[in-house]
Amino acid sequence: MKTENILVIGGTGKTGRRIVAQLKALGHNVRIGSRSATPAFDWHQPEDWSKTVEGMDKIYITYQPDLAVPGALEAIEELVKAAKRANIKKLVLLSGKGEREAQLCEQVVIHSGIDYTIVRASWFNQNFSENFLLEPILEGVVALPQAEAQIPWVDTNDIAEVATKALTEETHNGQIYELTGPRTLTFEDAVAEMAKASNRDITFIPISIQEYGEGMRKAGLPEDFIWLIEYLFTEVLGNPELAEVSHDIEKVLGRKPIDFSDYAKATVATGVWDPKSLA
C-alpha cells in the first residue's frame, strides 16, 4: 500500500479520531483538520482552507454540527472547490441516514469530478457516551421525544473502519454506503440495555418534542443547537428510511456490525457511565 497524505476534517471527533488512529497504523501521513491544529481548519474561515488541503491526496469530511444546518451546503460547495484547486484525488463524506438536507450536500461531492465515497450513517451508539445523551444516562433519568422510533444504532468504530477502507481502497470509489447496526432499538430499548449492562436503574420517560425543546431552553442551550436537535427528532426520526437496517458494514468489512449490547458492555468497562463521575 502506497503511503498517502490524508486530511481528516474533524480529526478529534467521534469518527475522526478513530480514523486518524487507523490511518496512522497503516502508515499514512495524516493531517488533522480542526481549529486547534496547525494549519488550523475552521468551517467559518474558508479563506484559510487552501493551506489545510495543500499537499494532501485525500480528504475525510465531517461537517459540524450537522450537514442539515443552514450554511452547510454552501460550505461543502466551497470545500469541493478548494479540493479541486489542490488536485485532491478522493473525498469521503460522512452523511446522515434519513437526512434529506444531507443528501443535497452528498450531490455536491458526487458531481465534483473527484473520486468519492459517501458514508451515510444512522444515529451513533456513542451519542450515549460521548455526546448529548451522556448526562441523562449518568443522572439515571432519560426523557426523550419520539419514544416509538425504531433506530438502527450504529457504532462509530464501524463507521471509522468503513471510512478508512474507503480512503485507502479504490474499490469503494463511487459507492454510497448506508451504515446501521444489526437491529433497531427504541430509546427505551437502548436505555434498558445500558441499565442491564451497568447494573443500574435508569428510567426512560417519553415526552413531547415541545416539552423537550422547553427543557433545553430552560437549561440555557443555544438556539441553533436546539433547532438542530428538534430537526433531528422530528424530520429524521420521523423519516421511515432511518429505520431500515442495512448490510453495508458486513459487505465492506466482511463481518457483522457491532451490536448495541456489545457497545454497552464495552462502554461500562471504560467507567464513563459511572454516576460518581458527576461528582
Give the model confidence (pLDDT) of 208-267 as tens digits: 999 999 999 999 999 999 999 999 999 999 899 999 999 999 999 999 999 999 999 999
Answer whether residue 278 shows pLDDT above 80.
no
Please state, in angstroms and rounded to a whole number, the distance separating the CA atoms of residues 257 and 246.
Answer: 10
CB-side neighbour CA atoms (13 Å) of 150:
8
Please state, in angstroms and rounded to a whole number, the distance separating the CA atoms of residues 76 and 85.
Answer: 14
CA dihedral 41, 46, 52, 57 (to 10 degrees): 120
What's the pLDDT at 279?
60
Q: Tell me the whole-structure pTM to 2 decimals.
A: 0.96
Instruction: Single out the residue of 98, 95, 63, 138 nearest to residue 233, CA to CA.
Output: 98
Q: Which of 19-23, 100-104, 118-122, 244-248 has the lowest mean pLDDT?
A: 100-104
What domains can be seen in the chain, in order of their start residue? Answer: 5-122+155-180+244-257 (3.40.50.720)
Give the model confidence (pLDDT) of 57-74 as tens digits: 999 999 999 999 999 999
Contact 68, 98 (CB under 8 A): no
Please state, in angstroms and rounded to a whole number, the distance separating the CA atoms of residues 248 and 228.
Answer: 27
Give the model confidence (pLDDT) of 44-56 as tens digits: 999 999 999 999 9
What's the pLDDT at 276?
82
**What's the one-letter identity of residue 219?**
A
